[in-house]
């Protein structure tokens, strides 16, 4: 699955009659950022970015990142072989990688960002405790990094469902 709009990629965690996939993860993160009043500081990059050994579309993103000076933090969820990971891009040269299982950034992904002039560093998250819980953990780690209070793994899915329902 390559992060298409109708894909049940990443985790298939049910919430509100839907599942977390790249599109819903992006939507929930956007609404979560808005609800915290952080819209001027953070932007969610979307369009279903994915990364696998043979193919990825991360390189397409690099030029747009390099030219965007107005946003402090750019948040990018990534489908890594069906697992939700992502990066927080700060300015023009820093990338922080988040994996809810605290696995290191894949070498090939590190190389793509470093080749474009980014320094890469990992942010450790609370390790996901439940199977198929990577997207909510990734979202809440981003929230915490931005200086807001994050939700527990058990609270996150319910709250995300409510937020997404209110935004529709």
In a domain, 114, yes or no: yes
In a domain, 38, yes or no: yes
Can you tell me the distance from the alpha carbon of 25 to that of 21, in angstroms, rounded to the nearest whole number?
A: 6
Residue 106 has pLDDT above 80, yes or no: yes
Residue 48 has pLDDT above 70, yes or no: no
In a domain, 7, yes or no: no
The pLDDT of 115-125, averaged and rounded, is 92
Q: Which CA distances in Å does 83 have to 25, 77, 91, 119?
A: 12, 10, 26, 23
> pLDDT at position 119, please?
95
User: By residue range, what is the domain housing residue 156?
Assistant: 14-167
Please tell me which residue, 21 or 69, carries the higher pLDDT value: 21
Can you tell me the distance from the alpha carbon of 80 to that of 106, in angstroms, rounded to the nearest whole number?
A: 9
pLDDT per residue as tens digits for the range 149-160? 999 988 998 899
In this structure, what token pair is assigned to residue 54? 């043979």
Q: For the chain, give me the number of helices (H) and strands (E)?
A: 5, 8
Please tell me which residue, 92 or 122, carries the higher pLDDT value: 122
In a domain, 70, yes or no: yes
Indicate the pairing of strand 18-19 with strand 14-15.
antiparallel
pLDDT per residue as tens digits for the range 59-105? 666 666 666 655 688 898 888 888 899 999 988 889 999 999 999 99
Q: Is 125 exposed, middle or buried (0-12, 13-18, 19+ CB in 10 A)?
A: buried
In a domain, 4, yes or no: no
What CATH number does residue 124 fall under? 3.40.395.10
Count of domains for the chain: 1
What are the E-state strand segments in 36-142? Answer: 42-44, 50-51, 73-80, 83-90, 94-98, 119-123
In a domain, 5, yes or no: no
In a domain, 88, yes or no: yes
In a domain, 3, yes or no: no
The percent of residues in the chain predicted with pLDDT above 70, rounded, is: 73
């Amino acid at each position: 699955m390559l992060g298409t709009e109708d894909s049940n990629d990443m985790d298939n965690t049910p919430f509100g009659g839907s599942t977390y996939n790249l599109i819903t993860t992006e939507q929930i993160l956007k609404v979560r950022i808005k609800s915290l009043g952080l819209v001027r500081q953070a932007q969610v990059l979307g369009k279903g970015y994915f990364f696998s050994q043979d193919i990825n579309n991360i390189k397409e993103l690099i030029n747009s990142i390099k030219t965007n000076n107005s946003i402090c933090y750019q948040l990018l969820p990534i489908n890594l072989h069906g697992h939700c990971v992502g990066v927080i891009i700060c300015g023009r040269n820093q990338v922080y990688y988040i994996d809810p299982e605290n696995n290191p950034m894949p070498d090939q992904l590190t190389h793509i960002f470093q080749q474009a002039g980014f320094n890469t560093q990992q942010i450790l998250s609370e390790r996901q405790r439940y199977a198929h819980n990577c997207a909510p953990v990734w979202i809440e780690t981003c929230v915490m990094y931005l200086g807001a209070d994050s939700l527990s793994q058990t609270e996150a899915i319910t709250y995300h469902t409510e937020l997404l329902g209110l935004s529709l």
